[in-house]
Amino acid sequence: MDQRVLAYLIAISIGGGLLAGLAAAIYLKKLSIYSTSKDDSRGITVGKEGKRVSGLFVTAEMVLAVVLLSSACVTTHSFLNVYGADVGVNTRNVLMMALGMSPERYPKPESWIPFYRDLESRLQALPGVESVAVAGAAPTDDLPRYAYELADAPTLKEESRPMAARIVVSTGYFRTLGAKMISGREFTNFDRGSSVPVVIVNQQFASRSWPGQVPLGKRLRVFLGNLGKEPTPWLTVVGVVSNIVQNDRTRQAFDPLLYLPHEQ
């Protein structure tokens, strides 16, 4: 739950309790209460006005209870829809863990590659492990969007360039999560820093950028860093993968995505 939502709920709960108590106190102060004694017991007689007001309070409580119950049912139904929505990957028997690289031991991204390469090998050797992969974010996580440019499209001004999210993944990422390659290939061990820069796009990106065309072999570049003024080298599309949810916690929409090989 979002911290702001939690703070709001606490505030209105306390505020509602104070207001309800204050209203009751003011009402009781003005209400005439008569006490009578009979057989050592006490009774309280409330006037017609008091009964009418009490009836209104009971009616209001019932109405609010029905509204609250309906809202709870709608919220629960929405949560179940989100929980059961298709995110584009197989989550059964998949274990995920997040790692933070120490800047002292691994000051440059080039030093991360041997670490992750060794980690993947050691995890792959564990009994019962079928596939291992590394990624910059998990499915449904929020990713920053960057401007990009297509090699076969007219040059656009900086503020008019289309935007897409990018994620860095290792070899076997799509196989590990059970995503389907629509066309082309996954990344391989030959996609390294010294080889031709490549990219895999999702189905949403391919449909938006090259409708009715074959995306394989197309080239694009992404504007990263320095407020988007430093483009990557031209990247060649080597594969199109099925849509995986990113940037949408409701799991209702698919963003156009670019996948870059981890070792490049």
Whether residue 124 is found in the same domain as residue 255:
yes
For residues 73 and 121, membership in a common domain is answered with no
Q: Are residues 168 and 255 in the same domain?
A: yes
63 and 135 belong to one structural domain: no
In a domain, 93, yes or no: no
DSSP code of residue 233: P
- The answer as to whether 118 is a domain residue is yes
Which domain does 202 fall in, by range? 109-261
Q: Looking at residue 85, what is its pLDDT?
A: 72
Residues β-bridged to residue 33: 46
Last residue of some domain: 65, 83, 101?
Answer: 83
DSSP string, 68-95: HHHHHHHHHHHHHHHHTS--SS--TT--
**pLDDT digits over 150-166, tens only?**
998 888 888 888 999 99
DSSP code for 241: E
Task: Judge if 136 and 190 occupy the same domain.
Answer: yes
Residues 55 and 115 occupy one common structural domain: no
Residues 194 and 76 in one domain: no
Is residue 151 within 8 A of residue 218, CB to CB? The reply is yes
Mean pLDDT across the chain: 85
Helix or strand holding residue 87 (H, E): none
Same domain, 126 and 206: yes
Asked if 156 and 120 count as a contact pair (C-beta separation under 8 A), the reply is no
Asked if the model's pLDDT at residue 84 lies above 90, the reply is no
> What is the b/e burial string over 39-75, where b = at least 16 CB atoms within 10 angstroms of the residue's CB?
eeeeeeeeeeebeeeeeeeeeeeeeeeeeeeeeeeee
188-244 pLDDT tens trace: 989 988 899 999 999 999 999 999 999 999 999 999 865 456 788 999 999 999 999
- Considering the domain architecture, whether residues 162 and 38 belong to the same structural domain is answered as no
165 in a domain, yes or no? yes
Q: What is the pLDDT of residue 233?
A: 92
Residue 89, SS3? coil
pLDDT of residue 259: 96
Q: Do the domain assignments include residue 89?
A: no
* Shared-domain flag, residues 116 and 58: no
Alpha helices, DSSP H, located in 105-213: 109-124, 173-177, 203-209
**Residue 94 lies inside a defined structural domain of this protein:** no
Q: What is the mean pLDDT of residues 176-180?
A: 93
Both 190 and 153 in a single domain? yes
- How many domains are contained in the chain? 2
pLDDT at 31 over 70: no
In-domain check, residue 254: yes
Q: Would 100 be classed as within a structural domain?
A: no
**Residue 55 belongs to some domain of the structure:** yes
